[in-house]
Homo-oligomer: A and B are copies of this chain.
Amino acid sequence: MTRFALTIEFDGGPFFGLQRQENGPSVQQSIEEAAHAVTGEQVTLHSAGRTDSGVHALAMRSHVDIAKQIEPFRLMEALNAHLRPDPVAVIACEVKPDDWHARFSCLGRSYEYRIRNRRAPLTLEKGRAWHVAKPLDAEAMHEAAQALVGQHDFTTFRSAHCQSASAVKTLDRLDVSREGDAVLIRAAARSFLHHQVRSMVGCLALVGQGTWRIEQVAEALEAQDRSALGLNAPPEGLYFVAARYPDEE
């Protein structure tokens, strides 16, 4: 068996998420079926992150084990041929040692959340960003976000369906910046809880709109209570952008 690391880009819109689901199409199913078509093997895809329905990826990192003798470039090309017309593409493929694991070897994950902040509805970015019509103060959002950086119990920002053993996580970065009528939130951590980024973004948006004071984000964190959550931002603005591995540093 050869372990192939795959870098995957996908539009999360038509999927019920990255992981296999009972109730609808998933990115994992698309790739496993493509791999079966290429190799005749039952292949399992392992990935750095689990993304929800509607969440996108610019560079999800995953791996598969394949017995068939095939060059990485040929595997990438063949997978992409079989993935059509699903909006999933393998943008890089390389051989890794057997102990390299897309999920367990991963040292850090990065997400970007895109808000379009204007009155007019979205056209080209429909399904690609969260449309917030009320003006957002990105500087206030950035200031509020800094209370979340560091090691904390993120119970407030965790989905009821989160399977993580502990709600204590270390957030390395949570930066908010404005570029024209776009507000971008960049988050990095070794790992995230289920819904953590969307929950944090939702509360920051309340600060940006003036609905919450800057200090209320810190207060919500300290409450360690899901009911203290202000708002869960919608999935269509969220992008998995990068994963870090020790052999690539």
Interface residues of chain A, those whose CB is within 8 Å of chain B, are: 9-11, 56, 58, 76-77, 80, 83-84, 87-91, 118-124, 126, 128
Contact = CB atoms under 8 A, between A and B. Distances in A.
A123 B76 contact: no
A120 B90 contact: yes
Oligomeric state, in number of copies? 2
Contacts of A123: 9-11, 87-89
Given A80-B120, A89-B123, A91-B120, 19 more contacts: A9-B120, A9-B123, A9-B124, A10-B123, A11-B123, A11-B124, A58-B124, A76-B120, A80-B119, A80-B121, A83-B121, A87-B124, A88-B123, A89-B120, A89-B121, A89-B122, A90-B120, A91-B118, A124-B128
Contacts of A10: 123-124
Of the listed residues A77, A80, A89, A122, the one surrounded by the most CB atoms of chain B closer than 10 A to its CB is A89
Contacts of A91: 118, 120
Contacts of A88: 123
A238 to B, nearest CB: 12
A77 B118 CA distance: 11
A118 B10 CA distance: 15
8 contacts: A9-B120, A11-B126, A58-B124, A80-B120, A87-B124, A87-B126, A89-B121, A124-B128
